Amino acid sequence: MKTTFHAQRRRIAIVSTVVAIALLGAACGGSEDAGETSSTAATETTEAAPETTTGLGTEAPTTTTAEKPVLGGKIVVAGEAEAGTPWTPYATNCDSYCDMRIQNVYDKLAALDTDLKVHPFLAETITPNADFTEWTLKMRSGITFTDGTPLNADGVILNLQAAFGSPLIAASVKDLARVPTGKEAPGQLPPVKIEKVDDLTLTIFTGLNGDPTKPLPWPGFDYYLTGQGAFIASPLYLTAALATEDKTGAGLLPVGTGPFIMTSFTPGDRMVMKKNPNYWMKDADGVAYPYLDEIEFRVIPDAVTRQQALESGDVDLISTSDGNSVADLRTKADKFPMLEQTKGVETFHVLLHLTKEQLKSRDLRCAMAQAIDKQALIDLTGGGILTPANGPFSPGQEGYLDDNGSLPYDPAAAKAGVDAYKAANGGKAPKIIYSTVPDANSLTQAQYLQQVWGEAGIEVEIKQIEQSTLIVNALFGAPDFDAFGWRNHGGLFVDNQYFWWYGPTAPPDGQLALNFGRLTDPVIDGLLEQQRSELDPAKRKSIAEDINRQFAKECWVLPTAWTIWGLASNGKVGGLGTLKMPDGSGATVRDGVFFPGQVWLTQAYKRA
C-alpha cells in the first residue's frame, strides 16, 4: 500500500546513523587558514588551564568558572548505536557514540583546539620538518597504561603500525612511506617507515603512494593524529588482541592510559567504566581527573526512546542528532539543558552504490536528487529545524559554498531525467533497493523516498536491515546495496575526507572499502591529490570548493540536510562543553562527543 506524505512535523527521527570510521580526524578544522601547521612547543605541566572556551558551532557550556567540581558519583549516558568489532583502535568501526566511549579508555596522540589547530595530548610535541615530509612525535614522560606498562616510543610505534596496516585505516594514510621487510603475507601491506629516535620519540615519514623514495609534502598529516588511529592502547593488550583468531581482540577488555578502566561490556546493551586512580592529567587546581567514580554507557538506538530515558530519569545524559529530539528539547531547556553543534557537522544524505549499472547514469542520479523536496523531508523527519544540504560540505568546513550549483527540487525535471534513462536503456524502468534500519523512524523516510522516486518513474524496494549488517554491506559493496540513508563527512578539512572519495580507494565489490559508494571521478581524484601537498591554505580552500562543485554537477551523493548535534543532560552534570588539554587549550565538543573524564556532578546526586 502506498503511503502519501505531506510536509508536517511528526515525532520521528531522520535517517539511520553510520560509521565515521578510521583516521577521519573527526576533529579537523575548517577556516580561512585551515591546515596551517607549525611546530608545537613542549609543555612543562600536565595541568589544564582554567579558561572557558566554546567549540566550533557549540553553544557555551552550562556551567561557569565559579562552579567547582564535585568529586565522586556515577552518571549514566545513552547514545545511538553499538560499535562494530570493538575495541581495538585499528579494527573498531567507530561512530560518534563509539568515539565518546573509547576515548575514556585510550588517550589520543593529539586533539583539536577551539582555534581549529592541532595540539599535542598524549604526545608532548609534534614537529614537522621544513617541507612537511617528516613528522617527529615526542611522548610525555611518566605516563603508564592501566596495566602498569610505561608509555614509550616502542609501544606507540606498535600501535601506529597496527593502525596504519589495518584494512580499515590503511587507505586513509596511503601517502605514508612503507618499507617492505620481505616477510609480508600475501595481501599484507609493508610497515610504515617509522624510526625510533629515543625512548620517547619517533619520526613518521611520508611517501607518495607509500614509496619511500618519493617523500610527499603533507602539511595536514597532524590532523590524522587527532583521529581513531591515534588512540594508543597498551602494547600488552594490543599484542594479545593481534593474537586472537580474527585479530580484532574480540572478548578482551581494552587497556589504555585514559581516565577510566572498562570493567564490563555487554554488546548492544551497556558498558561500565570505573575511575582510573592513576590518571596522569590534572585540572588547574592540581586535582587529578576524572572527577567521577563510574560511568555507565547504554545503547538506545531509537531517538524517541533515548529522549524518554533522559526525561524519566533513567539516564543522566544523551547525545542525539535527531531533529525532532533537538527541537523538542529546546522547549525544555530549563529542565534539560543542551549544548548544540550547528557548524562543521555531518551531512545527512542518500549514499549511492556507484558500481551498480543503473546508478552509473547521471540522468538517473540527478533525477533522484531533484525528486526530493528537502524541506518537506525535514519537516517530516527533522523537526523542521534542520537546514537543507546542497552537498557533503557543511557550513564551517573547508570547501563549503552557499551555492555549489546543486540542482533544485523539480519533480518535472526528475521525471524527465528518468525518461532519459529509460530511453537510453531500451525503455526499461530503473529499479532501486533502498536499505534502512528496522525501526519506524527510518522506515518513514524510506517510504517518503519510495513515494517521490516512484512518482518520477523509479521502482523502489525497501529492505530493513540491522545497522551492523547495513554498515558491513556498505564496506564490502554487497549486491543488495543500491542506496542507503547515511550520515557522514564531518571532517572539517578535505584532506581528512580523502579516503571517502578517492577512486583508488574503491576496490571491486566484495572487498573492504572506506570509499563506500565506490566513487571514481578523475576530476575529484586529481583535486584531492593536488590539495594534499598544497602549502597555501587559500589555494587548498579553492581546491576544496571545486570538489564541492563537482559533487553537485555529477549528483554523486543525494544530500538532504545538515545535522544538528545535541548533548542534553538532566541539569545535574557539569563540565560539558570543552576538553581542557595539557597545554591549557580547550578542545571542542564535536558530533555529540564530549570528554567524560572532565565531567562532574553539580550537586549531591547519587544513583545506584
- To 10 degrees, what angle do helices 440-456 and 411-424 make? 70
Q: Does residue 555 carry a pLDDT above 50?
A: yes
**pLDDT tens track for 400-410:** 999 999 999 99
Per-position b or e across 187-221, b if 16+ CB within 10 A of its CB: eebbbbbbeeeeebbbbbbbbbebebeebbbbbbb
The answer to the question of residue 4 being in a domain is no
Look at 355 and 499; give whichever has higher pLDDT. 355
**pLDDT tens track for 251-262:** 999 999 999 999
Range of the domain at 400: 347-562
Q: Does residue 82 carry a pLDDT above 80?
A: yes
The answer to the question of residue 370 being in a domain is yes
Distance CA 78, CA 433 (A): 32
pLDDT of amino acid 23: 34
Confidence band for 52, pLDDT divided at 50, 70 and 90: very low
Q: Side-chain half-sphere of 138: how many Cα atoms within 13 Å? A: 11
The answer to the question of residue 405 being in a domain is yes
**pLDDT tens track for 324-372:** 999 999 999 999 999 998 888 999 999 999 999 999 999 999 999 999 9
Coil, strand or helix: which one is 588? strand
**pLDDT tens track for 185-203:** 888 899 999 999 999 999 9
Least confident window among 162-166, 338-342, 426-430? 338-342
pLDDT of amino acid 66: 52
% of the chain exceeding 90 in pLDDT: 69
Confidence band for 602, pLDDT divided at 50, 70 and 90: confident
What's the average model confidence in pLDDT over 286-315? 95
Cα–chain center distance at 518: 19
Give how many domains the chain has, as a whole number. 1
pLDDT of amino acid 471: 84
Q: Does residue 429 carry a pLDDT above 70?
A: yes
**pLDDT tens track for 265-282:** 999 999 999 999 999 999
Angle, alpha carbons 130-135-138 (nearest 5°): 120
Give the CATH number, domain containing residue 504.
3.10.105.10
**pLDDT tens track for 412-422:** 999 999 999 99
Look at 62 and 313; give whichever has higher pLDDT. 313
pLDDT of amino acid 43: 34
pLDDT of amino acid 591: 62
pTM for the predicted model, two decimal places: 0.86
What's the average model confidence in pLDDT over 1-27? 34
Q: Does residue 497 carry a pLDDT above 60?
A: yes
Look at 501 and 4; give whichever has higher pLDDT. 501
pLDDT of amino acid 21: 34
The answer to the question of residue 401 being in a domain is yes
- DSSP-assigned letters across all residues of 392-404: S--TTSTT--S--
The answer to the question of residue 307 being in a domain is no
Look at 99 and 455; give whichever has higher pLDDT. 455
Highest mean pLDDT range out of 38-47, 501-510, 579-588? Answer: 501-510
pLDDT of amino acid 121: 95
Coil, strand or helix: which one is 545? helix
pLDDT of amino acid 587: 67
Distance CA 485, CA 447 (A): 12
pLDDT of amino acid 104: 94
pLDDT of amino acid 40: 33
The answer to the question of residue 512 being in a domain is yes
**pLDDT tens track for 388-402:** 999 999 998 999 999
Q: Does residue 374 carry a pLDDT above 60?
A: yes
Instruction: Indicate the burial class of 263 (C-beta count within 10 angstroms; 0-12, 13-18, 19 or more).
Output: exposed
Paired strand residues for 118: 112
pLDDT of amino acid 580: 83
Q: Side-chain half-sphere of 268: how many Cα atoms within 13 Å? A: 3
Q: Does residue 7 carry a pLDDT above 80?
A: no
pLDDT, averaged across the chain: 87
Q: Does residue 44 carry a pLDDT above 80?
A: no
Q: Does residue 585 carry a pLDDT above 90?
A: no
The answer to the question of residue 67 being in a domain is no
**pLDDT tens track for 112-125:** 887 778 999 999 99
pLDDT of amino acid 425: 97
Confidence band for 167, pLDDT divided at 50, 70 and 90: confident
Q: Does residue 78 carry a pLDDT above 60?
A: yes
The answer to the question of residue 120 being in a domain is no
Residue appearing with cell numbers 594479545: 240
